[in-house]
Amino acid sequence: MNTRTLKLVAVDAGGTRQERKQRTRQALLDAALGAQQSLASLSLREVTREVGIVPTAFYRHFTSMDELGVELVEEAMRPLRAMLRDARKRPAGDAIRGSVDILVNQVGKHGPHFRFLLRERHGDVPSVRRAIAAELRLLGSELAVDLGRFPGLADWSAEDLRMGADLMVGAMMSIVTALLEVGDHPDDRVHVVSVAEGQLRLIVLGMAAWRGEAAGSTR
């Protein structure tokens, strides 16, 4: 039994109609993710063929390939945001190290999703680009709010807090890229993690030295 046949068996397995529909929807998402090519170059027919359904059946689950791509963005980003948010609310020890550990863990578990994000962030599907940008903005907004609760940052302006948060989000995306490039090489991953922690600490140190308008200094 080949891989495609196994997928068909899984999709057609027992359960309620709603459960079967959900399995087919997830199979379409997985097929698009596993294609390892840009969404713009991936056809609906290729995805449905991989799942084993007729092309017209696709529209029972998504209105377009663009909508499928937006859902893939949400699959990748929402769990990451939730985990990072929870870690900031309940810090245990080194907050930076804890955040990097979460990022490393998520990239290890969901590598294809993060490859998709990096590939489509500047891809040719506008709705997916906008979805990724919106998720990163939301990540930055949540981080900025949490930074404002730290001692010494409470009197910072929202603009300055957001600037620091955006620097951290940019560093996180660079960390994701580095982790995907080194793959499963243990020594290389250790180096990436060490550099990642250093980058985030450098941003924090820079923020500590920053004299924003809220602190009453001039630039």
Predicted confidence (pLDDT) at residue 144 exceeds the cutoff of 70: yes
- pLDDT tens sequence across 105-138: 888 888 999 999 999 999 999 999 999 999 999 9
User: Token pair for residue 17?
Assistant: 């109609």
- pLDDT tens sequence across 12-63: 556 788 888 999 999 999 999 998 889 999 999 999 999 999 999 999 999 9
CA 132 – CA 70 distance, rounded (Å): 8
Across all residues in the chain, what is the average pLDDT? 85
177 versus 155: the higher-pLDDT residue is 177
At residue 2, the pLDDT reads 45
199 versus 92: the higher-pLDDT residue is 199
User: Token pair for residue 76?
Assistant: 């990748």
Predicted confidence (pLDDT) at residue 185 exceeds the cutoff of 90: no
